[in-house]
Amino acid sequence: MHVALYERIWMWAAAVLIALFLGAIVVTTAVQAVEPPSHVETVDPAALATHPEFAQPAVTTRPDGSVIVPVVTSMYAFAPDPIQVPAQVAITFRVTSSDVLHGFQIVGTNANAMAVPGYVSQFTITFPQPGEYTIACNEYCGLMHHAMVGKIIVK
């Protein structure tokens, strides 16, 4: 079968591109730990009021000094609010929702998670220095969505 020269060039170019892209996935997964979220943890959104962690969400310090912050989002507030955490310490946020989909974005940082009813979104962040941060809900959740803000005080 005769394949024209330009056709062959483009076939090889496409094959090389596919190999490059697949290779990039393999390399970033193996070397740079770039992966999709794998933290899948469920919680009954209707039973949050009696949940040991989320019934009275409060900032707690682990024995190793790291801090864990359970957060319950609901129309149209974050709990706890304000959240007081220390600077230069790894802070693990565990965020869920008691009603509808909300957002949990710490403005001015790269921390940005969805608060999905039935699931716990978890991420860890370290604040380099003391200050105040705004938490914004960035998923439309109802008429007062624009007023759903919280505060983090880093000491």
First to last CA, the chain: 73
Query: Does 99 help bind ligand CUA (rule: CB under 6 A)?
Result: no
Contact stretch for ligand CUA (CB under 6 A) within 4-12, 42-50, 126-134, 136-144: 136-144
Query: Does 81 help bind ligand CUA (rule: CB under 6 A)?
Result: no
Q: How far is the CB of 135 from ligand CUA (least distance, A)?
A: 10
Helix, strand or coil, per DSSP, at residue 147: helix
Query: Does 135 help bind ligand CUA (rule: CB under 6 A)?
Result: no
Query: Does 141 help bind ligand CUA (rule: CB under 6 A)?
Result: yes
Closer to ligand CUA by Cβ: residue 67 or 93: 93
Query: Does 113 help bind ligand CUA (rule: CB under 6 A)?
Result: no
Q: How far is the CB of 150 from ligand CUA (least distance, A)?
A: 10
Closer to ligand CUA by Cβ: residue 53 or 139: 139
Residue whose pair of structure tokens reads 């991420």 in the numeric block: 123
Closer to ligand CUA by Cβ: residue 114 or 125: 114
Helix (H) or strand (E) holding 73: strand 67-74
Each residue of 31-64: b (16+ CB within 10 Å) or e?
eeeeeeeeeeeebebeebeebebbeebeeeeeee
**Binding residue for ligand CUA (CB under 6 A) from 12, 14, 140, 151?**
140
The DSSP string of 5-68 is: HHHHHHHHHHHHHHHHHHHHHHHHHHHS---------B--GGGGGG-TTTSS---EE-TTS-EE
Residues that bind ligand CUA (CB under 6 A): 76, 102, 137, 139-141, 145, 148
